[in-house]
């Protein structure tokens, strides 16, 4: 008995030793490999970790995002300047799982940088951890306030509401010469509330006369009281921070009442569903969006065509943002010249005026987006470019 | 502006009143707060959307179909969620309340599944008919809602006080055992009550769909809670009270938005209810002694 125990102990220790040796060896060789490849200029090899929402109720986001990454990866690797390998982990839309996935990826020394996670709430826990470990991380779909401000290593390429809303207000005010506005917003939702804060700040900054601020709650069906009040004040423009479900009904009731001024909405209002629900009443809704699939730009057309061929459907905002994100990373990697986290971070922060399917892209000094969002208006039953 | 807001308030109040009428009927007879009433109302609205928008049939078919479906739902509710609990030993008096909450959750999830989560438009030619008086626009739907709520209230009052079935219903409300000894088929009366209440919910659903052009699976919950507040305000089980309570809530909500702050809409409306209840604890039209037939 004792002998057997002793022998198995020995066996286990030997196995452990072998495993340990193998580990050491493998890191060593891969390190050598990348150095060698870099020297041969066959393309700088780099591993990039992806954390995204692949299972659960929001799995469609993760699917769109990974589709965007994979299409970009294929194109970038075919060009040959850099050679990117993606290591994809599922966050299931949960903070703790996102953090676990991020820690797993960070502990792999070959991984130069991270992309994701999908949700802003996930980024709020993953971001500080990545910053602490000194690994660059970029959100492609995180729009909440304060994400890039988490730390020097945290970036994003998704346009925050605080950038999109002012752009659409400004364009609408310029076009219609609006001076008096009314604001209407859902006061029981964090997203519409923060949209409202941005609208109010922007309206005050532009010197607009805010006639009234009205609120509503999620799932409300009667907006007549608020709208009658707004109608009596006769605004030139209505700023409405609503999700499309409530927003579409608001527009319908407003038009029925005889309010014909344009509406400016936030990103939550930006959905083709508005046209389905409100029909003709949705005409005159102005929203800013980072992504417009019908844009008359060869780059956009090319991307839409390739994406449709590969996945059999039109790319949405999330796929487009992911696609551009990997191109930004590839550019930074090329400029860094080596697969090193710190060198990569510095090169990433330097990115300026990079042409992508979303438009010209730069980072500000905090790592947030500098970009002109596309402003759209609903006209003749569809979203069109608002000029 | 004031007139327009008044019309808005009366429209909203009339809808509340129709919903509350269904509530008060069930409460008056069964002493049960039917939490599934709001969801039955929501189903009526969805049937209206399907019949008019999807199938393109005329409005009266929508009303007929909605009444039919809600009657069936009302029967099933009574048969499977309320009757098995009635008169059993050791059943808590809260059990029917909980079982109707269960039905309401079931119906809400079912409609999510059947109709989808978003808002559905209620496109109908009748909903577009309007009159222009100065700067005020009045929709025919708004007048219809008000008229229907008055007609329903009067018909219910008459039915309850003058007809034989109504008297049997009131006898059942007074005391279930005594009525049953006196030859009232209480089982049938109770089923009838739940069915009538549900049909009224269905009618209200279509009217709301037309007036606000928004039908979604969550609409039942808030309407249900408001209906509950109204029957307490108006006096439990009282038909006129439900009507008056509905109008008071609808008007105060609208006027708070018009002349105050929309953020405090529900808060102020419910503070008014609390003040009225402090002054008249039995509700506006309620009797001092509980007339609801509960021990």
* Chain A residue closest in CA terms to B258: A229
Residues comprising chain A, all counted = 387
Contact A249 B214 (CB under 8 A): yes
CA angle, corner A167, sides to A165 and A170, nearest 5? Answer: 105
Which residues lie across from A49 on neighbouring strands? Answer: A87, A114
Q: Is B101 exposed, middle or buried (0-12, 13-18, 19+ CB in 10 A)?
A: middle
Residue A36: the pLDDT is 40
- Output DSSP code: residue B257: H
Contact A277 B4 (CB under 8 A): no
Residue ranges with strand state E in chain B: 130-133, 136-139
Contact A229 B221 (CB under 8 A): no
Closest residue by Cα to residue A318 from A54, A62, A89, A59: A62
Residue A30: the pLDDT is 39
Residue written as tokens 């052009």?
Answer: B213
The domains located in chain B, with CATH, are: 2-117+126-279 (1.10.3470)
Phi, psi of A287 (to 5 degrees): -135, 155
* Chain B residue closest in CA terms to A224: B8
Which residues lie across from A111 on neighbouring strands? Answer: A47
Q: What is the pLDDT of residues A2-32, one digit of tens each?
A: 666 667 666 666 665 555 555 444 433 333 3
Q: What is the CATH number of domain A162-289?
A: 3.40.50.2300
pLDDT lower than 50: segments of chain A: 23-41
Among A219, A229, A253, beta carbon nearest to B213: A253
Interface of A with B in 193-232 (CB under 8 A): 214-226, 228-229, 231-232
* Chain A residue closest in CA terms to B253: A225
Interface of B with A in 167-206 (CB under 8 A): none
A277 interfaces chain B, CB cutoff of 8 Å: yes
Among A218, A245, A257, beta carbon nearest to B137: A257
Interface of B with A in 79-138 (CB under 8 A): 118-121, 123, 130, 137
A57 interfaces chain B, CB cutoff of 8 Å: no
B253 interfaces chain A, CB cutoff of 8 Å: yes
Residue B69: the pLDDT is 95
Among A221, A226, A277, beta carbon nearest to B118: A277
Interface of B with A in 8-67 (CB under 8 A): 8-9, 11-12
B5 interfaces chain A, CB cutoff of 8 Å: yes
B157 interfaces chain A, CB cutoff of 8 Å: no
- For testing contact with chain A, the best of B8, B127, B133 (most A CBs within 10 A): B8
Query: How many A×B Cβ pairs under 8 Å?
Result: 86
Spell out the per-residue pLDDT of chain B, length 295, in tens: 788 899 999 999 999 999 999 888 888 777 888 889 999 999 999 999 999 888 888 888 999 999 999 999 999 999 999 888 887 778 888 888 899 999 999 998 898 888 877 788 887 777 778 888 777 778 888 899 999 999 998 998 898 888 988 888 888 888 888 888 888 888 888 899 899 999 999 999 998 888 888 888 888 888 888 888 888 888 877 888 889 999 999 999 898 888 888 888 888 878 888 888 898 888 888 765 544 444 3
Chain A residues in contact with B112 (beta carbon < 8 A): none
- Output DSSP code: residue B157: H
Among B12, B119, B253, beta carbon nearest to A248: B119
Chain B residues in contact with A278 (beta carbon < 8 A): 121
Query: Model pTM greater than 0.80?
Result: no
Chain A residues in contact with B5 (beta carbon < 8 A): 225, 228-229
Residue B292: the pLDDT is 46
| Domain positions in chain A | 42-158+298-370, 162-289
Fold of the CATH domain A42-158+298-370: Rossmann fold (3.40.50)
Contact A252 B208 (CB under 8 A): no
CA pair distance B124, A219, nearest whole angstrom: 22
Residue A19: the pLDDT is 56
Residue written as tokens 């992911």?
Answer: A322
Residue A137 CB partners (closer than 8 Å, separation 6+): A102, A113, A114, A115, A116, A126, A127, A130, A131, A153, A154, A155
The two tokens of residue B283 are 């509700």
A234 interfaces chain B, CB cutoff of 8 Å: no
Residue B31 CB partners (closer than 8 Å, separation 6+): B292, B293, B294
* Chain B residue closest in CA terms to A256: B128
Q: What is the pLDDT of residues B209-234, one digit of tens each?
A: 888 888 888 888 888 888 888 888 88
Residue A188: the pLDDT is 80
* Chain B residue closest in CA terms to A279: B121
Contact A215 B118 (CB under 8 A): no
Residue written as tokens 């929501």?
Answer: B42
Chain B residues in contact with A253 (beta carbon < 8 A): 212-213
Residue A18: the pLDDT is 56
ipTM: 0.81
Chain A residues in contact with B215 (beta carbon < 8 A): 221
Interface of A with B in 76-105 (CB under 8 A): none
B6 interfaces chain A, CB cutoff of 8 Å: no
Chain centroid to CA A8: 53
């Amino acid at each position: 008995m004792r002998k057997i125990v002793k022998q198995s102990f020995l066996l286990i220790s030997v196995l452990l030793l072998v495993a340990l040796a193998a580990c050491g060896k493998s890191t060593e060789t891969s390190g050598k490999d990348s150095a060698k490849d870099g020297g041969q200029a066959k393309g700088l090899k780099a591993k990039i970790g992806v954390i995204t929402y692949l299972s659960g109720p929001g799995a469609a986001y993760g699917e769109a995002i990974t589709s965007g990454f994979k299409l970009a990866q294929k194109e970038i690797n075919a060009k040959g300047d850099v050679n990117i390998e993606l290591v994809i982990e599922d966050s299931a839309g949960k903070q703790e799982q996102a953090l676990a996935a991020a820690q797993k990826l960070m502990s792999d020394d070959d991984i130069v940088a991270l992309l994701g996670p999908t949700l802003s709430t996930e980024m709020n826990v993953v971001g500080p951890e990545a910053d602490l470990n000194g690994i660059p991380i970029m959100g492609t779909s995180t729009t909440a306030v304060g994400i890039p401000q988490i730390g020097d290593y945290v970036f994003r390429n998704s346009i925050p509401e605080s950038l999109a809303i002012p752009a659409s207000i400004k364009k609408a005010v310029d076009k219609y010469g609006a001076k008096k506005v009314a604001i209407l917003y859902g006061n029981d939702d964090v997203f519409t509330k923060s949209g409202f804060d941005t609208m109010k700040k922007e309206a005050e900054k532009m010197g607009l006369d805010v006639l009234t601020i009205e609120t509503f709650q999620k799932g409300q069906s009667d907006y007549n009281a608020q709208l009658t009040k707004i109608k009596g004040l006769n605004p030139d423009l209505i700023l409405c921070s609503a999700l499309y479900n409530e927003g579409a009904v608001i527009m319908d009731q407003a038009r029925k009442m005889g309010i014909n001024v344009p509406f400016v909405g936030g990103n939550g209002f930006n959905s083709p569903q508005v046209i389905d629900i409100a029909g003709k009443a949705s005409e005159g809704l102005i929203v800013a969006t980072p992504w417009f699939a019908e844009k008359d730009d060869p780059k956009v057309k090319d991307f839409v065509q390739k994406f449709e061929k590969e996945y059999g459907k039109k790319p949405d905002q999330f796929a487009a943002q992911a696609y551009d994100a990997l191109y930004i990373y590839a550019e930074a990697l090329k400029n860094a010249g080596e697969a090193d986290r710190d060198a990569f971070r510095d090169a990433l922060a330097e990115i300026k005026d990079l042409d992508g399917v979303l438009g010209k892209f730069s980072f500000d000094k905090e790592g947030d987006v500098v970009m002109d969002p596309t402003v759209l208006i609903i006209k003749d039953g569809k979203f069109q470019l608002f000029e | 502006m004031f007139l327009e807001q008044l019309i808005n308030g009366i429209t909203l109040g009339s809808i509340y009143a129709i919903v509350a009428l269904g509530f008060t009927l069930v409460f008056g007879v069964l002493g049960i707060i039917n939490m599934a009433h709001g969801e039955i109302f929501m189903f009526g609205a969805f049937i209206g959307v399907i019949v008019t928008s999807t199938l393109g049939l005329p409005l009266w078919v929508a009303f007929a179909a909605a009444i039919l479906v809600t009657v069936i739902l009302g029967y099933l509710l009574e048969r499977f969620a309320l009757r098995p609990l009635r008169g059993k030993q050791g059943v808590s008096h809260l059990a029917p309340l909980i079982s109707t909450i269960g039905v309401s959750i079931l119906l809400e999830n079912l409609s999510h599944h059947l109709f989808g989560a978003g808002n559905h438009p209620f496109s109908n030619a009748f909903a577009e008919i309007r009159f222009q008086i100065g700067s005020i626009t009045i929709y025919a739907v708004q007048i219809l809602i008000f008229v229907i709520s008055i007609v329903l209230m009067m018909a219910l009052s008459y039915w309850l006080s003058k007809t034989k079935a109504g008297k049997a219903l009131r006898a059942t409300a007074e005391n279930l055992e005594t009525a049953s000894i006196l030859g009232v088929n209480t089982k049938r009366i109770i089923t009838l009550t739940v069915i009538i209440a549900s049909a009224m919910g269905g009618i209200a659903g279509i009217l709301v769909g037309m007036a606000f052009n928004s039908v979604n699976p969550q609409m039942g919950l808030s309407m249900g809670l408001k209906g509950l507040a109204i029957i307490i305000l108006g006096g439990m089980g009282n038909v006129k009270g439900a009507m008056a309570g509905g109008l008071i809530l609808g008007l105060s909500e609208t006027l708070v938005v018009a002349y105050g702050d929309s953020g405090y809409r529900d808060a102020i409306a419910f503070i008014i209810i609390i003040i009225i209840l402090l002054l008249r604890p039995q509700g506006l039209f309620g009797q001092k002694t509980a007339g609801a037939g509960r021990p």
